[in-house]
Chains A and B, each alone.
Chain A
Amino acid sequence: MSFKLRSVKVPANSASLEEARARVFDFFRTACRSIPQIMDIYNLQDVVTVSQLRSTIASEIHKNSSITNSKVIDLLLFKGMEELSNITEHAKQRHHVIGQYVVGQ
């Protein structure tokens, strides 16, 4: 289904902060492009809008904005990608998604 998000990739190994920054933006764009699918899977149309979810993802990324070690950034991206895959594969349930990303933002 959407297992292509987590299909076997070479693990990220950024040489510089710039490369890590580019990977972060790629991850952000992938996440934003899967938002409509997520809203469809968990029926969030009445609960939250696409732009609110987008802002939530951006603020999660902003929380770690002070990190300068590119390997740490790679690890955080891996965890982020894992979380995104879990959500799009429907491994989570509606109350998980609402509790973690909608309520209290």
Chain B
Amino acid sequence: MALRAVLLRQLRVPVQTLALAGCKSQPWSFSSCIRLMSSHDDHLSKEQVIGRVLDVVKSFPKVDPSRVTPDVHFQKDLGLDSLDNVEIIMAIEEEFKLEIPDKEAVKIDSCNLAIEYVYNHPMAA
């Protein structure tokens, strides 16, 4: 089983090197050099963030997907528990590869606030 995991990890490497090779084969100009070294051009767009946050909320087992809108409140509109609230925030953390500190996580009560937070976070992926 552990061997299989190691083998699978080896198999995943070629896809990444292919993407890198594709990127570097573009003609080298001064502006594309700058872009290659910049880490600021992969900000998520607002629609992407909204789409992905809503997907996370809809795939939560206790939630009725048809009632999910961008300004729905987790506890008031969706009838969730405070623990379910924390669980949704953890699911969002997993989706966007973030780590939300506890002080901020307490304030996130609705889809609105979640989308705002993720959109304003510089490390959202």
Contact = CB atoms under 8 A, between A and B. Distances in A.
Interface of A: 21, 24-26, 28-29, 32, 43, 45, 50-51, 54-55, 58, 61-62, 65
A43 B5 contact: yes
Interface string B78-116: 000111101100110010000000100100000000000
Nearest to A47: B1
Contacts of A65: 81, 83
Contacts of A61: 83
Contacts, number: 38
B82 A21 contact: yes
Contacts of A45: 5
Interface string B1-44: 11001000000000000000000000000000000000000000
Interface residues of B, number: 16
Contact of A51 (B5, B59, B84): B59
A24 B81 CA distance: 13
A54 B5 contact: no
Nearest to A42: B1
A55 B59 CA distance: 12
Given A29-B102, A43-B1, A45-B5, A54 B90 contact: yes
Contacts of B105: 29
Nearest to B84: A58
Given A24-B83, A50-B94, A54-B90, 7 more contacts: A25-B83, A25-B102, A28-B90, A29-B90, A51-B59, A55-B87, A62-B81
24 contacts: A21-B82, A24-B83, A25-B82, A25-B86, A25-B102, A26-B102, A28-B87, A28-B90, A29-B102, A32-B87, A32-B90, A43-B1, A45-B5, A51-B59, A51-B91, A51-B94, A54-B87, A54-B91, A55-B61, A55-B87, A58-B84, A58-B87, A61-B83, A65-B81
Contact of B83 (A26, A50, A51, A58): A58
